[in-house]
Amino acid sequence: MKVGDIYQILDTLSPFELQESWDNSGLLVGETSQSVERAVLSVDIDAAMIDEYEESTLFILHHPLIFSPLKRLLWSEYPANLLRGMIRKNHALIALHTNFDRTHLNRYVFEKILGFETAECEDFVCYAEGEWESRTLLKEIKRKLNLPAMRVVGENRTVKRVAMTTGAGAGLLDGVDADLFLTGDIKFHDAMQARSMGMMMADIGHFESERHFAAALGENLKNLPIPVIIAQSINPFTYI
C-alpha cells in the first residue's frame, strides 16, 4: 500500500486542515509514493520501536516527531537520532495531533474511557452534565486512567458540569464553562487562575489522557489491506 493512499484515508477521517496553526501534523518522514507493508499506531516513538519493526513500516503517531524548526541534525541528539534510524530502514511517519484531538480523541476518552455522556463538545472541550460528589468522581477517574496520583485545585463540592481536554489543555481555561475541568500538564499559574475563577481543576496527565490514541484511531483503520499494529505507547516519566 502507498503512503499517499493512507494519508488520504486519514485526511478524510480527520482533516489535517483542522490542526492548530502552531501544530505540525501530516506526512513528516517519507513520501506519498512510498510502499509500506504495515502501519504502527502509537502516541510517540523511540529507538526500540524503530529497531523492532522491519523496513517499509509506516508509523502513525499522535505527537509530531518534528515539531519545532530543526536547525541542525546531529545523530546524538533528539529527534535526529530517531530520524536517522527511520531513514535507514525506509520507514515513514504521519502525525495526527490537534486535528485528531478535535475530531476523535477527546470524545473517545471522555465517553469510552471515563464513561461520561457528552452533552456538548466545543472545539477541544467535551462537557457532561449531572450531579457528582467531586472527590468520589475524581477517585473513579484516577482509577480509570490508572494514575498513580492526581493533583487537584479546589475544595470538595458537588459538581454539575464537567469539562475535559486530553493532553495539555490548561491554556483553554478562559473559555471553559464548568464546575470541574479535567486536563493534563496543569502549571502553577493555571492552578492559581482556576482558583480565582472558583473552578476545580484536576491534572489527569498528558500521557495518561492521550495513551488511548492508538485504540481510538485503530477502530477506524480495520479495513486497511495491511496489518495495523497498536504499539505500546511510551511514557517518559516514572513515579517513585
Q: pLDDT tens-digit profile of 17-56? A: 999 999 999 999 999 999 999 999 999 999 999 999 999 9
For the chain, give every domain's residue range: 3-96+211-230, 100-204
Superfamily of domain 100-204, CATH level 4: NIF3 (NGG1p interacting factor 3)-like (3.40.1390.30)
Q: Which of 222, 219, 223, 39 is nearest to 111 (CA)?
A: 219
Q: What is the pLDDT of residues 111-161, one digit of tens each?
A: 999 999 999 999 999 999 999 999 999 999 999 999 999 999 998 899 999
How do strand 200-203 and strand 151-153 relate by DSSP bridges?
A: antiparallel
3-96+211-230 has which fold?
3.40.1390
CB distance 124 to 102 below 8 Å: yes
Residue that has been written with the C-alpha cell 475530531 in this structure: 103
Q: Using the predicted structure, report yes or no on whether residue 239 has a pLDDT greater than 90.
A: no
CB distance 227 to 6 below 8 Å: no
Q: What DSSP assignment string belongs to 174-233?
A: GG--SSEEEES---HHHHHHHHHHT-EEEE--HHHHHTTHHHHHHTT-TT-SS-EEE---
Q: How far apart are CA 182 and CA 129, in angstroms?
A: 14
Beta-strand ranges (E) seen in the chain are: 26-29, 38-42, 57-61, 92-95, 120-122, 125-133, 151-153, 158-164, 180-183, 200-203, 228-230
